[in-house]
Amino acid sequence: MPGDRSSIAFATRRRAAAPDAIAPDGSEVRILGATARGSMAMFTLLPGAVARAVAHRTVEEIWYVVAGQGRLWRRFDESEDVTVLEAGVSATIPTGASFQFRNDGTIPLDIVAVTLPPWPGDGEAYRIEGPWLPSV
C-alpha cells in the first residue's frame, strides 16, 4: 500500500555517562540518535584539552554548544575563521573543511552535533595540520 509506514520504528536513547567512543579528533563521543539520513551525538572536550585537527571526507556537521567555552578553527578553500564557542553558539562544518577545537574553560566543553549523512565509520576523518598543538 503506498505510503504505508507501519515498519517505522521509534528510537529513544538517554545520553550515556561514559563515552560510547573517542572521535578521530580525540574528543569523547556520546551517541544520541540516528536515522537513515542523519545522526546526532554529544562531543565532550575536557578543560584545557585541544583536539586534533581533522577534515571529513563525506559528511557535514552542524554543532550546537551546550556548555563550556573554547574556540573552533575552520578552513575551507580560501576562507579561514576562529569562532568563540560558548553555550548557545552554533557552527557548521562543511564537507572537506579543516577544523580543530579547544576547551579554554574550567568545565567540559559539550557540543551536540548533527552529522549528515550519518557517520559512516572508520576512515571518514583524516588528520591535517591545525593552528594548535593537540593534547588528546
* Structural domains of the chain, ranges and CATH numbers in brackets: 22-127 (2.60.120.10)
Four-CA torsion 101, 104, 105, 108, nearest 10 degrees: 30
**pLDDT tens profile 106-115:** 999 999 999 9
**pLDDT tens profile 22-76:** 999 999 999 999 999 999 999 999 999 999 999 999 999 999 999 999 999 999 9
20, 30 contact by CB (below 8 A): yes
pTM score of the predicted model? 0.90
> What is the per-residue pLDDT for 6?
60
> What is the per-residue pLDDT for 2?
56
- Residue 1 confidence (pLDDT) above 70: no
> What is the per-residue pLDDT for 10?
87
Count Cβ atoms below 10 Å from residue 72 Cβ, excluding itself. Answer: 21
Amino acid at 83: T
Identify the residue whose cell numbers are 579543516.
98
> What is the per-residue pLDDT for 23?
96
Can you say how many angstroms the Cα of residue 31 is from the centroid of all Cα atoms in its chain? 11
Buried b / exposed e over 17-44, threshold 16 CB at 10 Å, is: eebeeebbbebbbbbbebeeebbbbbbb
Q: Which of 79, 76, 78, 82 is nearest to 94 (CA)?
A: 76
> What is the per-residue pLDDT for 68?
98
Identify the residue whose cell numbers are 568563540.
84
**pLDDT tens profile 67-77:** 999 999 999 99
Q: Which of 57, 85, 75, 68 is nearest to 131 (CA)?
A: 75
* Residues found in the chain: 136
